[in-house]
Amino acid sequence: MTKALIVIDVQNDFCPHGALAVSGGDEIIEGINALMNDAEAVVLTQDWHPAGHSSFASSHTDKAPYDLIDMPYGDQMLWPDHCIIGSTGARFHTDLHRDRADLVIRKGYNPQIDSYSAFFENDQTTPTGLEGYLKSRGISELVMVGLALDFCVNFSAVDAAKLGFDVTVKTDLCRAIDLNGSLESAMSGMQSAKVKLA
Ligand code: VGL
Ligand code: ZN
pLDDT digits 0-9 by tens, 9-59? 999 999 999 999 999 999 999 999 999 999 999 999 999 999 999 999 999
Take atom 1 of ligand 1 and give the residue whose Cα is closest: 152
SS (H, E, C) 155-191: HHHHHHHHCCCEEEEEEEEEECCCCCCHHHHHHHHHH
The DSSP annotation for 27-90 comes to GGHHHHHHHGGG-SEEEEEEE-B-TT-TTBGGGSTT--TT-EEEETTEEEE-B-S--BTTSTTT
CA of 151 to the centre of ligand 1 (A): 6
Instruction: Give the mean pLDDT of 81-90.
Output: 98
| Ligand 1, atom nearest to 151 Cα | 7
Q: What is the pLDDT of residues 137-158, one digit of tens each?
A: 999 999 999 999 999 999 999 9
Ligand 1 pocket: which of 15, 22, 47 to mutate (most atoms within 8 A of CB) = 47
Answer whether 157 contacts ligand 1 (Cβ < 6 A): no
Question: Cβ of 161: how many Cβ atoms within 10 Å?
Answer: 19
Answer whether 42 contacts ligand 1 (Cβ < 6 A): no
Mean of pLDDT over the chain: 97
Ligand 1 pocket: which of 20, 85, 169 to mutate (most atoms within 8 A of CB) = 20
148: preceding bond cis by omega (within 30 degrees): yes
Task: List all residues 6 or more positions away from 116 whose beta carbon is below 8 Å from its beta carbon.
Answer: 122, 151, 152, 154, 155, 156
Answer whether 120 contacts ligand 1 (Cβ < 6 A): no
Q: What is the pLDDT of residues 176-191, one digit of tens each?
A: 999 999 999 999 999 9
pTM attached to this predicted model? 0.97
Letter for the amino acid at 65?
P
